[in-house]
Amino acid sequence: MNAEDTADQPKILIGISSCLVGEKVRFDGGHKQNRYILDTLGQYFSYRPFCPEMAIGLGIPRETIRLAVIDNHVEAIGNKHTELTFTRPLMRIAEEQVNWHRQLFGYIVKKDSPSCGMERVKVYRGDLPKREGVGLYTATLMRNFPTLPVEEEGRLGDPILRESFVKRVFIYKRWHELLARGLDWAGLTDFHARHKLILYSHNQELGRQLGRELAASHQQPVDDYAAKYLAQLMNILKISAKRSNHVNVLEHIRGYLKQNLDKSDKQELTESIENYRRGLLPLIVPITLLRHHFRRNPQDYIERSYYLQPHPDELMLLNSL
Ligand code: SF4
């Protein structure tokens, strides 16, 4: 498996809203420290905190900001002093951070914030708010780095979204390691092969389509195709991985053991996948069983696939799926 790929590696650099690491930078001098992010994910992630509102010179305490539609544009304005606008400073401060943003493999932002929120931030039309906005700093970050995994701390409470974000971070990091080694068609094809089953667990049709496009693109320079490949890869990974898709992948992997298992092992494996399908067992159970059988009956393709080991076991992300 791929445990060696993550063990003893330096921590992965992740950008984060400063208040989430406990810095007292909120409008009222408080913070929103998140112990799961710090203690659990912090075993593998190192954080680069940034508070855009502090960075544009707003002090503590400060008037809160809100997003509002003014002349058909979304603007960040003062909550009380609505004549004050912070739109350009927030966007400019995000642009000024691109050098360190470029070094990141993910970003965790504070939900609901008109500066940092990733989605569903309140946008006012008059006094009526609609949850349809994106914080202006984070909107600029995501526009500059559309493939960077970005997630809100609130959504990390959801097991599926949490697993998806962490998996994308590890994949994004491996992608940059591939680029650093020097990209060629052989390397890209191998990268795809090792992530193919993960893609199938998100959307089999789109995963297959990406494989076909990759195979048909060899006439062009690999560097020209790479950005398109990454964009599609990350888009597929954003689709929720359904239980039924995981079942298809697990059954596909089980097929590689057809010749190697006796009747009772086969039955145990089938029952484990079936119980996962019915929601009686978490994904980690059939995966652990499969890992066990492949340790005894190694298969190169499965050995190299990241599906059975998408991230470190210590994070226990497959235990809640
Ligand atoms: S949400 Fe963003 S702008 Fe608000 S305090 Fe936290 S880091 Fe600063």
CA of 178 relative to ligand 1 center, distance in Å: 34
Q: Judge if 171 and 309 occupy the same domain.
A: yes
Q: Judge if 13 and 25 occupy the same domain.
A: yes
Q: How many domains does one find in the chain?
A: 2
Tell me the residue length of the chain: 321
User: Which has the closest alpha carbon to 58: 23, 95, 92, 27?
Assistant: 27
CA of 122 relative to ligand 1 center, distance in Å: 15
301 within 8 A of 190, measured Cβ to Cβ: no
Q: Judge if 133 and 170 occupy the same domain.
A: no
Q: Which atom of ligand 1 is nearest to the CA of 113?
A: 1
Structure tokens at 217: 């693109």
Q: Judge if 143 and 214 occupy the same domain.
A: no
pLDDT tens digits for the chain (321 residues)? Answer: 454 455 568 999 999 999 999 999 999 999 999 999 999 999 999 999 999 999 999 999 999 999 999 999 999 999 999 999 999 999 999 999 999 999 999 999 999 999 999 999 999 999 999 999 999 999 999 999 999 999 999 999 999 999 999 999 999 999 999 999 999 999 999 999 999 999 999 999 999 999 999 999 999 999 999 999 999 999 999 999 999 999 999 999 999 999 999 999 999 999 999 999 999 999 999 999 999 999 999 999 999 999 999 999 999 999 999
For ligand 1, say whether the CB of 110 is within 6 Å of any of its atoms: yes
Q: Judge if 126 and 213 occupy the same domain.
A: no
The per-residue pLDDT for range 179-228, each reduced to its tens digit, is 999 999 999 999 999 999 999 999 999 999 999 999 999 999 999 999 99
Question: How far is it, in rounded angstroms, from Cα 184 to Cα 87?
Answer: 42
Q: Which atom of ligand 1 is nearest to the CA of 25?
A: 5
Q: Judge if 244 and 280 occupy the same domain.
A: yes
Give the pTM: 0.95
Q: Judge if 199 and 133 occupy the same domain.
A: no
Q: Judge if 138 and 236 occupy the same domain.
A: no
Structure tokens at 151: 């997630």
Q: Judge if 69 and 150 occupy the same domain.
A: yes
User: Which has the closest alpha carbon to 133: 151, 116, 150, 109?
Assistant: 116
Task: List the helix and strand counts (H, then E) for the chain.
Answer: 13, 8
Give the domain range for residue 50.
Answer: 3-156
Q: Judge if 132 and 199 occupy the same domain.
A: no
The per-residue pLDDT for range 43-88, each reduced to its tens digit, is 999 999 999 999 999 999 999 999 999 999 999 999 999 999 999 9
Residue 112 identity (one-letter amino acid): D
Out of 121, 140, 156, pick the residue that ends a domain: 156
Q: Judge if 140 and 172 occupy the same domain.
A: no
CA of 315 relative to ligand 1 center, distance in Å: 26
Bridge-based pairing of strands 73-78 and 107-109 is: unpaired
